[in-house]
Amino acid sequence: MKSIIFDVDTGIDDALAMAYALHSPELEILGFTTCFGNVPVEDATRNTLAVLEKLNRHIPVFSGAGQTLNRGEKKEYPKHVHGEDGLGNTLEGAPTLQASQGHAVDFIIEQVKSRPDEITIIAVGPLTNIALAIKKDPEIMSLVKEVIIMGGAVKVQGNVNPYAEANIICDPDAADLVLSSGLPVTLVGLDVTMQTCLPKSKLDEWRATGKESAQFLAEMTDYYMKAYDSSHPGLGGCALHDPLAVGVAINSDLVRTESMNIKVVTEGEETGRTIGQPDSESGIRVCTEVDAARFVKHFLERVIRS
Ligand code: BDR
Ligand code: CA
């Protein structure tokens, strides 16, 4: 079993990734850490707690970075993709679960130091919490087992603009710090996540289960799919960005990787771009191919608990 710290900016596909991970016996989730990104950090924490509550799971949630490393607060949030509340406007009142005391960055440092070479971090939001953890205690870099990051667009176009992927452009300085730190990273970027598709028809199957949690996930994913209808007409569903990072944590052979060093552009028009150069010495493995059909099948077997 892999011991996981799951860093999220919950978000609809983050919620799907949470459900997939929480229903996967291969993963032991020690805690969730939250970051601004799809929504402000307070909402990311609330949404993470709300998803846990719907799934009836009690796992610690630590609130983390509310702003970028060097550029202050994010100005606008992608409400057209994730809704006013970040969960496709499905939230009805605040969850009763409470966040844990303490900061996400301290939780990451403490867990990594107490379990050397055992912890895998799955990061599916901006990389600010991990960057802050490295800055606060650089020793953790040699103690983390693996970091699986949903982020970047190395050989393909971005999704915010032609260059940048959303998680990286939210905090390019944090991404640059993490991706040049020497941490053992698997980069699950748009190169592979855009090859995955959750078809619309699956939402009716989820609803038909009659389960409240399935209804909740179907309603929010319906909102996400409507955003995809405008941005990717003809796709007939949505990409499964954050869930693929979980899939790779469970089955690394879902993807083929290439060893590269990655430079993140931090200035000018191309800010947020992830430029990869082949480098057999690099600790970064960039996912460049995915068995999308096998992944989507596995995700669908797990996301709704039978
Ligand atoms: C990433 O950006 C966010 O909108 C999603 O949650 C995902 O982590 C995709 O580019
Ligand atoms: Ca996310």
Please tell me the residue having the least CA distance from ligand 1 atom 10: 166
- Judge if the beta carbon of residue 166 lies within 6 A of ligand 1: yes
One-letter amino acid for residue 30 of the chain = L
Could you tell me the pLDDT band of residue 234, with boundaries at 50, 70 and 90? confident
Give the H/E segment covering residue 6. Answer: strand 2-8
- 305, pLDDT greater than 90: no
Catalytic residues: 241
DSSP letter (8 states) at residue 254:
G
Q: Over the chain, what is the mean pLDDT? A: 97
- 269, pLDDT greater than 80: yes
- Judge if the beta carbon of residue 196 lies within 6 A of ligand 1: no
- Fold for 2-302, please state it: Inosine-uridine Nucleoside N-ribohydrolase; Chain A (3.90.245)
Q: What is the mean pLDDT of residues 237-244?
A: 98
- 245, pLDDT greater than 90: yes
* Phi-psi map region of 269: left, alpha, beta (phi>0 left; psi -120 to 50 alpha): alpha
**Per-residue pLDDT tens over the stretch 19-58:** 999 999 999 999 999 999 999 999 999 999 999 999 999 9
Please tell me the residue having the least CA distance from ligand 1 atom 2: 166
Could you tell me the pLDDT band of residue 163, with boundaries at 50, 70 and 90? very high
- Judge if the beta carbon of residue 150 lies within 6 A of ligand 1: yes
Ligand nearest to the CA of 151: 1
**Per-residue pLDDT tens over the stretch 103-157:** 999 999 999 999 999 999 999 999 999 999 999 999 999 999 999 999 999 999 9
